[in-house]
Structure 1
């Protein structure tokens, strides 16, 4: 479209070196075209007379870049200055030569020219390692607002292609163009999406089996004798709190018992074993999947540390490499700080326990009958919501602490810093997310004492018990609320916040956009754009990229952390929540397109970093897989009623010792799990008032039941309790050994790389050696 063009201003043409060549006459100037395919762009605010120091630093940095033969194009707006940066061909030739002679890096012989993603990465390194006379680098200057922003430009043609083939909601069930993503965003981003896509794909069988286990639990509604026994029980249960709570009937928990059996059945045991082996197979098949693409991209032998040394020489041939350092004092300080941080997070878990106890008491003593009847479950739900708020706040605090600890360590390179930060941040986040869940899974209802000797907080608040439907019900509620809230709210904010920021920036740059309305923009066949200069004209691509949301070196880390935490939920406590893989599958289908849309259209282009693996995250995933075996074994063996049911069936029930009866083998199990507390006992009378021992129907009772294996007289544990405890630990040991053996067999059975990939690498190395031998 042809638009009205005006002559450029003298100031702008002087900046471009044009006026001087034409005798200083701005009216006698041929059309000037400036390429928009710059390697990098810096943005600053125009400096007034009041802040000359900032202006000096800005000029000093630009002059340092020019001393390195970088071409800097300056375009001024009323209050914004754009610096377009282009590196000379010599820098890239030097990089290519050093890459060729390197031991751990390789350059494809059939690759012609320097890809823009590589140019951007090299210029990005040079900018970050350029210092002015005060010793400050670009990061310092950005913190002090000498420069407002920095970014590499989106390529309009490739951006449009990615948006059509990948970054759109209608492509949710289509494959990903991983190679195109790699060519645009670099190997690091491509491997993230490759890993996320592979994880999502392998979640399909896990989600299907988890759904089958859930539906299998539904069959218990009409066939389980346990549900029938609970729903028809006449047992009177002890009050769940002091003073206000009264005795209640076990049949009141009929609905909760049905809910409990949805995930506390034999199918859960099989599914937990499957998920533990699945985690290993996922990692092993991922290594094979990754190897195919890494070999195709010719980065199998690439080494991040050696790449950094090459870039350091390209930036400054007289530079000296930063030496490795190790200080026992610094390591001790970091270890102590990490330990203290973990203790603080665990302390928050204790505070959450106290909150639930106090809320349960207040709700039970309230005037609303509905809240009084459901005080325990109400406290558990409110506790889950508070836990989510704690997670949200602690995520920000954990990030700040992890960065400070990395500064104390003084790591040698960015790769080492990233690795150290990842380990610390994941450790903090893991304890933040799972401390409360570990308490609910393994301590809730097991340390609260018994009637007459309840454990109390501050001598007043009685420690909470398990949900009347079973201890796994509490874990299920916590898991369902946290996982659902995390995935739903995170996705909403992840998309809406960048969109809102872009909208706000657009409103803030309306004036700049109007001044660019007279720019004449066109594209050649390769998608490269050119704009004819006009008075106060701003390059449209620079403006378009400037008002996108900022990205940094840890933007991709946040995406990895979110999915790895989800992977932890999916595997560690899957015995209590078999629908977790299904929720993860649904979330990831949305997550892939959400992240793609965000990266392609809402955010500035991420620096295309090179890599051949997902880094330390592989070790983190392997550690989660081992922890999943331990946790699921403990959940089934300690938290669920699976072991007590098996012991009852084969030792105490109607079918014990191989005797066959007409009744169900689990008949009488519920009554077998109950112990009796009598009001005639002095300790019981001190805790339970006579007014509490009245049923809603008005009938007085002299005793009540509670779930435990204790004798009626001295409340000591019965022999059945010790037998069940022994079988629990025996099951945990057996479960873990069997699953670990299966994991090792699976890891051995699946090669880490396909045979054709190994043969291709072997042939490539052999051919390179033959060429060198000539």
Structure 2
């Protein structure tokens, strides 16, 4: 008996599940269209079997099976390369050490478990049509089924849009729960040896991930795995930098902080109301000591090393990607030039193409230009709103500082920790805004991309990626860029009352006398922790909560008592742009590691800890908590590679600018070389003369 879900005969594999409700076919027209859809898929060679939902007889499941001869015919038509027909060789990869290995990455033919799934454990090229390829072929067929008389009445997506069908999804290769006897399916193996937190230090079974989920998922997890690997030396260096700063904090190397702690200099008030308190420079003693941990000669060298690290990492990834292309037979995979059905619907005009010697549909340039103008204007408006929110947080920081300066109830707070409280609360507010805008701009990007109506799926995906990243860039980095390069730069002198009445007093938002690096570090710590906790929490518990709610709605007490397709019907859908969201989060984090490493040496450590957890959460999610996605074959990272390269180049520039303008390291070095009196450094740099 097959370990995969089958028809009632126990032989024919279930490739796809369609769901409809009897009550939805309320009119004769809808019922006619539904029957025409069913008859068309039969004509195309697909076989089906219907079965009602045990918890609700109104819900009907249609199980779809494609015979081997149908798969072979349509795989050729849709240019889907079948592994057993197209593989030439698979290059040898060195096996990992015992501590890093699992039975999937270091198989042992004498292990009893090997005989339960020899194809998966051996990692050999499949000699049959695998389930992911079957799903790809059936999905392409269903996307093109004509079921109506109008030009737009075709395809699975339209059936769901018109509510003739309520759902459609491919099935996993059986249940993920481990069994002690009998054959094992690929889902069980991935859940045991990949989607488990106990495997956090284990090498990923990339060949099996590619076989089960397709190359789009496999390349993402391969990139994340390599990113984690190269974060380890960066995190070690980061730890050494922090330890150096900590252990030399109270030595003569930190003479500037000692001077601040001992000085009797009194700073002019920053606020303009009557009885505004003056501030002793010695109040910044603890800030100066913390600042030294991040701002010393060792941190400057580390910043330079990290710029080189990012460049080397990208070069080594290109090498790894080339190996994976050979390993998964992707050299012949090309970007699909098949026109999108949505484009064909709108493109009413046709013109002659001398290359193909055929008439091709097209959209007039005036319409395309108009849509792009709307897109650019909409993106500009969204970016302006994000920047406005950042501006609002800065004004909030000024207001908090002033409110605490007026308070006499807590003199310690109003005197010594005023700036720290404002920075922490402002950073938390920024983190909240980032999550709110993330939920909004993703949906807006989809609407704008749909409006542009790109010709091919490749151009559609690339345009969506660039929109998402542009908005995420502004959303996540605007506050950090403000603190790093603009905060305090517009302040003129104490007593300039006009600046307090201009733009909410943002000109008075200045750094602590010891510099802005602490504010930058606080912001980045809060954002990275917010992102890590929020992302992992939502990915772990949100799908479980949704499934539990549906289970209660249908009054299902025992999930093991219902068929697999009913169980997976209760699971959340695998979103179309799931990979784009995952890439966006990871590339934004890669930017945090690169852009501000001088002001935040902790970034590699936090990134490493988060990514180890994130990888296993993602693996657990796709194997256990979500429906199986439609596998996609891609030749590489595509648009993401260009974005990663741009991020690397920007990181080199921003780190240099942070050292030059935000850090006080260069000023201190120049002053020490030009003047012999160390004690007068702050007396000179903080003077208005």
Q: Give the TM-score band, short-chain normalised.
A: 0.7 to 0.9
Query: Relative to 1, partners in 2 of residues 1:405 and 1:232: Cα closer, same or farther, differing over 3 Å?
Result: same
State the match for 1:150 in structure 2. Answer: 168
State the match for 2:68 in structure 1. Answer: 89
State the match for 1:215 in structure 2. Answer: 243
Of residues 393, 414, 430, the one that matches 1:372 is 414
* 2-structure distance, mates of 1:598, 1:260: 40
Task: Say if 2:525 is the partner of 1:480.
Answer: yes
Q: Which moved more, 1:423-432 or 1:372-381?
A: 372-381
Q: Which moved more, 1:634-643 or 1:541-550?
A: 541-550
Of residues 572, 577, 601, the one that matches 1:554 is 577
Of residues 482, 489, 492, the one that matches 2:534 is 489
Q: String of CA shifts for 1:271-309, please: whole Å, max 9, x gaps.
A: 111111111111110111121121021111211315889
Query: Relative to 1, partners in 2 of residues 1:511 and 1:470: Cα closer, same or farther, differing over 3 Å?
Result: closer
Query: Relative to 1, partners in 2 of residues 1:54 and 1:256: Cα closer, same or farther, differing over 3 Å?
Result: farther
Of residues 426, 445, 466, the one that matches 1:423 is 466
Is the 2:20–2:61 Cα contact (8 Å) retained in structure 1?
Answer: yes
State the match for 2:93 in structure 1. Answer: none
Task: Say if 2:636 is the partner of 1:613.
Answer: yes
Task: Say if 2:516 is the partner of 1:504.
Answer: no
Q: String of CA shifts for 1:222-275, please: whole Å, max 9, x gaps.
A: 111112111111111122323353112111111111111111111222111111
Query: Relative to 1, partners in 2 of residues 1:322 and 1:36: Cα closer, same or farther, differing over 3 Å?
Result: farther
TM-score, with normalisation over the residues of structure 1? 0.74
State the match for 2:47 in structure 1. Answer: 71
Q: How does 1:103-252 map to 2 (within 5 A)?
A: 107-108=86-87, 112-133=127-148, 134=150, 135-136=152-153, 137-156=155-174, 157-223=185-251, 224-243=254-273, 245-252=276-283
Q: Which moved more, 1:456-465 or 1:259-268?
A: 456-465
* 2-structure distance, mates of 1:489, 1:101: 38
State the match for 1:672 in structure 2. Answer: 684
SS of aligned partner of 1:304: coil
Of residues 477, 480, 490, the one that matches 1:437 is 480
Q: String of CA shifts for 1:175-196, please: whole Å, max 9, x gaps.
A: 1110011111111111111000
Q: How does 1:459-478 map to 2 (within 5 A)?
A: 461=505, 463-478=508-523
Q: How does 1:251-266 map to 2 (within 5 A)?
A: 251-266=282-297
- CA shift at 1:51, angstroms? 5.8
State the match for 1:633 in structure 2. Answer: 656
Query: Relative to 1, partners in 2 of residues 1:668 and 1:468: Cα closer, same or farther, differing over 3 Å?
Result: closer
Is the 1:384–1:481 Cα contact (8 Å) retained in structure 2?
Answer: yes
Q: String of CA shifts for 1:131-178, please: whole Å, max 9, x gaps.
A: 431424422332443322211111122111111111111111111110
Is the 1:322–1:412 Cα contact (8 Å) retained in structure 2?
Answer: no
- CA shift at 1:371, angstroms? 4.2
| Structure 2: gaps (5+ residues) | 2-6, 89-124, 175-184, 344-357
Is the 2:513–2:686 Cα contact (8 Å) retained in structure 1?
Answer: no
Q: How does 1:676-755 map to 2 (within 5 A)?
A: 710-711=688-689
Q: String of CA shifts for 1:417-460, please: whole Å, max 9, x gaps.
A: 11100000100010011111111111111112211225224487
* 1-structure distance, mates of 2:360, 2:457: 13
Is the 1:290–1:613 Cα contact (8 Å) retained in structure 2?
Answer: yes
TM-score, with normalisation over the residues of structure 2? 0.82
Q: How does 1:4-23 map to 2 (within 5 A)?
A: none
Q: Which moved more, 1:351-360 or 1:417-426?
A: 351-360
Of residues 288, 294, 303, the one that matches 1:272 is 303
SS of aligned partner of 1:450: coil
SS of aligned partner of 2:336: helix
* 2-structure distance, mates of 1:144, 1:130: 15
Is the 2:386–2:475 Cα contact (8 Å) retained in structure 1?
Answer: yes
* 2-structure distance, mates of 1:258, 1:626: 32
SS of aligned partner of 1:606: coil
Query: Relative to 1, partners in 2 of residues 1:308 and 1:332: Cα closer, same or farther, differing over 3 Å?
Result: closer
SS of aligned partner of 2:294: coil
* 2-structure distance, mates of 1:570, 1:383: 21
Number of aligned residues: 606
SS of aligned partner of 1:79: strand
- CA shift at 1:52, angstroms? 5.7
Is the 1:106–1:302 Cα contact (8 Å) retained in structure 2?
Answer: no
State the match for 2:500 in structure 1. Answer: 456
* 1-structure distance, mates of 2:21, 2:328: 41
Query: Relative to 1, partners in 2 of residues 1:129 and 1:348: Cα closer, same or farther, differing over 3 Å?
Result: farther
SS of aligned partner of 2:655: helix
Higher relative contact order (CA 8 A, sep 6+): 1
* 2-structure distance, mates of 1:99, 1:606: 19
Query: Relative to 1, partners in 2 of residues 1:132 and 1:49: Cα closer, same or farther, differing over 3 Å?
Result: closer
* 2-structure distance, mates of 1:365, 1:626: 45
* 2-structure distance, mates of 1:408, 1:101: 29
* 2-structure distance, mates of 1:594, 1:88: 36
- CA shift at 1:89, angstroms? 3.1
Is the 2:337–2:456 Cα contact (8 Å) retained in structure 1?
Answer: no
Is the 2:382–2:471 Cα contact (8 Å) retained in structure 1?
Answer: yes
Query: Relative to 1, partners in 2 of residues 1:230 and 1:433: Cα closer, same or farther, differing over 3 Å?
Result: same
Query: Relative to 1, partners in 2 of residues 1:459 and 1:499: Cα closer, same or farther, differing over 3 Å?
Result: closer
Q: How does 1:47-66 map to 2 (within 5 A)?
A: 47=23, 54-66=30-42
* 2-structure distance, mates of 1:193, 1:49: 42
State the match for 1:596 in structure 2. Answer: 619
* 1-structure distance, mates of 2:404, 2:283: 18
Q: String of CA shifts for 1:89-146, please: whole Å, max 9, x gaps.
A: 33322245458899xx982368643222111011112222334314244223324433
| Structure 1: gaps (5+ residues) | 2-15, 17-31, 313-318, 518-537, 655-665, 676-709, 712-774
Task: Say if 2:383 is the partner of 1:342.
Answer: yes
State the match for 2:565 in structure 1. Answer: 542
Query: RMSD value over aligned CA atoms?
Result: 2.8
SS of aligned partner of 1:493: helix
SS of aligned partner of 2:221: helix
Q: How does 1:29-48 map to 2 (within 5 A)?
A: 33-35=9-11, 37-47=13-23
- CA shift at 1:331, angstroms? 2.9
* 2-structure distance, mates of 1:293, 1:667: 59
Q: How does 1:358-369 map to 2 (within 5 A)?
A: 358-369=399-410
Q: String of CA shifts for 1:551-606, please: whole Å, max 9, x gaps.
A: 12201111111111110111111111001001000111111111111110101111
